[in-house]
Chain A
């Protein structure tokens, strides 16, 4: 079983749609959680951190459920520029910083 699993995608949505990505992690020692965005042939970049209380950044909302070992990302009012791969990321342990990426979910937003 992979340490971080994501919806396989791709997701094809029209502009203005709301889209949700799901992610599960297997290591109960996971301490920190993130969503990264990766554009085609570019390096990954941090989109947002994920906190147990949930957090929002404009059109983006991230949620964490530690009991279920589940992370989500919601994008409202999708824009063409949101088209990218979204990577679920988990940092494991308190003494170390091993950081594991999911396989990513590809999003295509169409006009």
Chain B
């Protein structure tokens, strides 16, 4: 399929470790978003990219979180010194240029920090 692909689908790590979550958007989609969703909550905005640049990173909770999109396609969300409170589903979405604003989501990466 040509949908948004996220890897890994599940990640279990220990407190203090470093993790990377990858997102491969739909081909041709210029905007890419990262959200975090905890149980019973809506998706919480983290950051979005237009092309290679982070257009708005106001949702990143602190400096342990960082995201890149070096070639304007695949993006990586990086979390340093993970904490138990980082446990959540991390959702990636992409959106086509000139579209009406619909976001197409991947299935998410479930992160568990022990």
Contacts and interface: CB of A to CB of B under 8 A. Distances in A.
Given A32-B101, A91-B101, A102-B42, A96 B56 contact: yes
Contact of A45 (B95, B100, B105): B105
Given A43-B91, A43-B108, A99 B42 contact: no
Contact of A44 (B43, B100, B101): B43
Contacts of A45: 105
A100 B101 contact: no
A1 interface: no
Nearest to B30: A97
Given A44-B91, A44-B105, A99-B48, 11 more contacts: A32-B101, A42-B107, A43-B106, A43-B108, A49-B101, A96-B48, A96-B56, A97-B48, A98-B45, A100-B45, A103-B41
B45 A87 contact: no
Interface residues of B, number: 23
Interface string B98-114: 00111101111000000
23 contacts: A6-B42, A32-B101, A34-B101, A42-B107, A44-B91, A44-B105, A45-B105, A46-B103, A49-B100, A49-B101, A49-B102, A96-B50, A97-B55, A97-B101, A98-B48, A98-B56, A98-B58, A99-B45, A99-B101, A99-B103, A100-B45, A101-B42, A102-B42
A24 to B, nearest CB: 14
Interface of B: 31, 33, 35, 41-45, 48, 50, 55-56, 58, 91, 95, 100-103, 105-108
